[in-house]
């Protein structure tokens, strides 16, 4: 378009035709969507082409195919429509209630969300928490994009263009817990022999599963005790694991921050013991993930800020 004022005479209904053709895939399906004849669609595209110097469509064996320029115009048109659509939404008051659906696990619910109620502004949130264990990664991402869920708490790093994420917490240091009635409770640090001769309670669910699985070979070579730990009890419940360790000779590996939180609650009769010096763990990030175009984008981002603040208090 050569003139600065060409939009004065431009027929914006032609953009509806462009949108229908690109969205439907061809002119015939677009005509059905617009409830006009294919000839009318072709005529509208010719009029639209006359307004632009760049070619908008090329003819292929399967019909008309939009050029990169047409796709750019279509993208701008859709963004303009989104802006107009937003003007019809009721403006939210400062005290509006934010209803958010969270996909996570037992740890995210007990360790994070259950302890946000003292934060300023949190009274405006109404949360529904759902277990993530029933869905795989691709299913979880689809639930975010469709709006079925507003936030996912996960170990995964997001690489899809539709989603965004931020790290709300990280686990760097780990320790062993055992019952205070266990002979091991007298130790400040476990030896390799203590570690591999003891029977372990293993947490097989939630966001910690990949780093606390008994399938991980903790020491590979160079030490007298190597291989996999002996798993005497497996559970998908964090509460169940804590109760089992408290009332048996089992031991379990957990992040130091989580153990400190559990001990401060005073609900369990547990002792904390340092791991053997030979062990090293990679830092594990806990991420909050959301859809970039979510209608609840601002409440979600505000909630992640609260989660990061909560995590900072627990360092």
Query: Phi then psi for 52, rounded to 5 degrees?
Result: -125, 140
Residue 315's pLDDT band (cuts 50, 70, 90): low
> Do 176 and 195 meet the contact criterion of CB atoms below 8 Å apart?
yes
pLDDT in tens, 168-226: 888 888 899 999 999 999 999 999 888 888 999 987 644 444 444 333 344 443 444 44
Query: Are 258 and 202 part of one and the same domain?
Result: yes
Query: Are 293 and 263 part of one and the same domain?
Result: no
Partners of 284 in the beta sheet? 171
Instruction: Tell me the CA distances in angstroms from 97 to 94, 115, 223, one per residue in order.
Output: 9, 19, 57
Within a domain: 212: yes
Least confident of 76-80, 84-88, 250-254, 306-310: 84-88
Query: Are 78 and 116 part of one and the same domain?
Result: no
How many secondary structure helices (H) and strands (E) does the chain include?
11, 12
Mean pLDDT over 241-265 rounds to 91
The burial class, CB within 10 Å (0-12 / 13-18 / 19+), for 31 is buried
The total of structural domains in the chain comes to 3
pLDDT in tens, 67-107: 888 888 877 777 777 667 666 665 554 455 688 999 888 87
**Total residues found in the chain within this entry:** 315
Q: What is the mean pLDDT of the chain?
A: 80
What is the SS3 assignment for 121? Answer: coil
What is the rounded CA–CA span in Å between residue 285 and residue 167?
A: 6
What is the SS3 assignment for 12? Answer: coil
Query: Are 190 and 265 part of one and the same domain?
Result: yes
* The pLDDT of residue 246: 95
CATH number at residue 64: 1.10.10.10
Show the CA angle centred on residue 153, arms to residues 151 and 155, nearest 5°.
140
Mean pLDDT over 10-34 rounds to 80
Which of 4-8, 157-161, 169-173, 282-286 shows the highest mean pLDDT?
169-173
Alpha helices in the chain (DSSP H): 13-24, 27-34, 38-50, 68-86, 106-107, 137-146, 192-197, 209-212, 238-246, 256-265, 297-313
* The pLDDT of residue 97: 67
* The pLDDT of residue 90: 56
pTM higher than the cut 0.75: no
Within a domain: 93: no
Query: Are 208 and 246 part of one and the same domain?
Result: yes
Query: Are 155 and 25 part of one and the same domain?
Result: no
* The pLDDT of residue 289: 93
- Tokens representing 234? 């497996």
* The pLDDT of residue 62: 65
CATH number at residue 216: 3.40.190.10
Query: Are 162 and 297 part of one and the same domain?
Result: yes
* The pLDDT of residue 204: 67
User: Taken in order 299, 305, 160, 87, is the CA torsion positive or negative?
Assistant: positive
* The pLDDT of residue 85: 67
91 or 117, which is more confident: 117
Last residue of a domain, one of 60, 86, 112: 86
Q: Could you tell me the residue range of the domain that residue 64 belongs to?
A: 6-86
């Amino acid at each position: 378009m050569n003139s600065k004022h060409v939009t004065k005479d431009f027929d914006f209904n032609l953009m509806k035709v462009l949108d229908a053709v690109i969205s439907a895939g061809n002119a015939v399906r677009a005509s059905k969507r617009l409830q006009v004849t294919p000839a009318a669609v072709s005529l509208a595209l010719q009029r639209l082409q006359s307004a632009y110097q760049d070619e908008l469509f090329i003819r292929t064996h399967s019909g008309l195919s939009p050029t990169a320029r047409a796709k750019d115009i279509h993208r701008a048109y859709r963004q303009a429509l989104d802006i107009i659509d937003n003007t019809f939404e009721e403006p939210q008051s400062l005290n509006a209630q934010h209803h958010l659906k969270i996909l996570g696990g037992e740890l995210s619910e007990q360790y994070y969300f259950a302890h946000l109620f003292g934060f300023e502004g949190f009274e405006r949130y109404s949360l529904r928490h759902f277990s993530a264990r029933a869905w795989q990664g691709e299913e979880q991402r689809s639930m975010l994009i469709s709006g079925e869920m507003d936030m996912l708490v996960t170990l995964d790093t997001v690489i899809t263009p539709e989603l965004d994420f931020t790290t709300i917490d990280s686990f760097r240091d780990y320790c062993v817990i055992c019952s205070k009635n266990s002979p091991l409770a007298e130790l400040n640090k476990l030896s390799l022999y203590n570690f591999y001769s003891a029977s372990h309670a293993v947490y097989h669910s939630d966001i910690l599963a990949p780093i606390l699985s008994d399938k991980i070979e903790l020491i590979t070579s160079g030490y007298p005790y190597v291989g996999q730990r002996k798993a005497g009890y497996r559970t998908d419940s964090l509460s169940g694991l804590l109760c089992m360790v408290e009332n048996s000779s089992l031991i379990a590996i957990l992040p130091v921050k989580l153990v400190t939180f559990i001990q401060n609650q005073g609900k369990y009769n547990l002792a904390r013991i340092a791991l053997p010096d030979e062990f090293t763990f990679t830092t594990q990030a806990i991420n909050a993930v959301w859809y970039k175009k979510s209608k609840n984008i601002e409440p979600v981002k505000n909630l992640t800020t609260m989660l990061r603040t909560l995590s900072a208090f627990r360092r």
